[in-house]
Amino acid sequence: NCFAAFQELDLLFAEDAQLLPLAARLGLSQGALRALTRFNSLELDFGDFFGSFSTPSGRAAAFFQTAWALLRRLAACDTQAAAAVACKQLLASLANFSESTADSAESLQQLRAATSSASEHVLRAVLPEGALEILRKVLVFGSAADVDCAESILRLFYGVSAEA
């Protein structure tokens, strides 16, 4: 199943990182991104691992951790994997946003740059990572410049989320 394949690939790449460029050329990052987004529509076969999800939404489950680990490995040689990993990290840095600071403004600018060149699969993969909730906080508590930045990022999510 998909989970077991991701685990095996993660182990393989841990042992031999020289295989990463080949995996990137073969589209492994696109496969990982699609897998991250298809869980919500139940298009994946999780087999025996279905019971291993540790949160109601499943985002902290071993499957998602393994898929993100693969994307982190591939980020060095694949632009979409790099964009996904950057977006996830930037969203995590903004998770506790309560007021505009120099750091939050820089993170928002970096997030806008990362999302503007991201594929639909990247946007769909980071959506469950709290993207809309974080951007809503920026709209409420951010400075005018931060609000403009958040609005431009939200526009990118329009095509992948009715909620955006």
Q: What is the pLDDT of residues 49-74, one digit of tens each?
A: 444 443 334 555 778 888 899 999 99
Confidence category of residue 39, pLDDT binned at 50, 70, 90: low
Give the contacts of 48 (CB within 8 A, at least 6 positions apart): none
CA-based nearest residue to 67, from 156, 58, 145:
58
What is the Cα Rg of the chain in Å? Answer: 16
Alpha carbon 103 to chain centroid, angstroms: 21
Note the pLDDT tens digit of each residue in 139-156: 999 999 999 999 999 999
Confidence category of residue 85, pLDDT binned at 50, 70, 90: very high
Distances (CA, A) of 124 to 19, 72, 143: 27, 17, 27
Contact 113, 152 (CB under 8 A): no
| Structure-token pair, residue 53 | 């999800």
Residue indicated by tokens 């540790």 = 54
Distance CA 12, CA 40 (A): 27
pTM of the full structure = 0.81
Left, alpha or beta for 9 (phi > 0: left; psi -120 to 50: alpha)?
Answer: alpha
* Residue 46 burial (CB count, 10 A): 18
- pLDDT exceeds cutoff 60 at 90: yes
Confidence category of residue 15, pLDDT binned at 50, 70, 90: very high
- pLDDT exceeds cutoff 70 at 17: yes
Distance CA 25, CA 148 (A): 36
* Residue 38 burial (CB count, 10 A): 13
